[in-house]
A and B are shown apart, each in its own frame.
Chain A
Amino acid sequence: SQTIHQWPATLVQPVGSPLSLECTVEGTSNPNLYWYRQAAGRGLQLLFYSVGIGQISSEVPQNLSASRPQDRQFILSSKKLLLSDSGFYLCAWRGTGSPYNSPLHFGNGTRLTVT
């Protein structure tokens, strides 16, 4: 069965510091991968998605970036965090067989607080 791992679970970082969140998927090949953010009391906002190694699509212009160095690895980064970057970051995957009927599967999330 497929599993998705995301770490760390919680993170407290000062403004201006760098960020690196990592996500890996097991049990599937060539998944579509996603990074979402959920601000407190808000809905999910799609940040990046990837349909293959090195292929990244950005949905929202901001100081975050994403990379996919391996098929099942997705990394979210920032060179300098802002206070507004605080939130709940979720990595997700879904299969490529039928994007129109495949649900997303989420990792456990990283709760980021920028101080």
Chain B
Amino acid sequence: RKEVEQDPGPFNVPEGATVAFNCTYSNSASQSFFWYRQDCRKEPKLLMSVYSSGNEDGRFTAQLNRASQYISLLIRDSKLSDSATYLCVVNGARGTTDSWGKLQFGAGTQVVVTP
């Protein structure tokens, strides 16, 4: 089983609609979580960190469900510019040998916003 799993998509979303997708992780002791956005042939860029209580940044809302070991990203009022691959990133547990300096990346979920 992969440590971080994402639905590869693509999620085809009409402009203005809402889209949501999840990312599951296997290490129940994971401590920190992030969503990155990667445009085609570009480097990943931090979209937002994911906090235990959930957090919002404009049209983007991130949630963490520790019991079921997943994080989610919701995009409201989708724009054409939201078309990208969204990477889920999970840090290892505090005190484990691989937690220092190592983040686990999902393979990404592709979102395509159509006019």
Interface set of A (CB-CB < 8 Å, partner B): 32, 34, 42-44, 46, 49-51, 57, 59, 88, 90, 99-101, 103-109, 111
9 residue pairs bridging A and B, Cβ less than 8 Å apart: A34-B101, A46-B102, A50-B101, A90-B44, A103-B34, A103-B49, A105-B46, A107-B43, A109-B43
- Tell me which of A44, A100, A101 contacts B44 (CB under 8 A): A44
- The A/B interface has a contact count, at CB < 8 Å, of 55
Q: B100 touching A99 by the CB < 8 A rule?
A: yes
B91 within 8 A of A: yes
Contact of B100 with A43 in the complex, beta carbons under 8 Å = no
Interface residues of A: mostly helix, strand, loop or mixed? strand
Residue of B nearest to A48 (CB): B101
Whether B59 is near chain A, meaning CB under 8 Å from some CB there, is no
Closest 4 CB pairs between A and B? A43-B107, A106-B43, A49-B101, A44-B105
Q: Is B99 an interface residue, CB under 8 A from the partner?
A: yes
- Out of A57, A103, A107, which one reaches B101, CB within 8 Å? A57
Minimum CB distance partner of A105 in chain B: B46
A23 to chain B, nearest CB (A): 12
Report chain A residues within 8 Å CB of B49. 101, 103
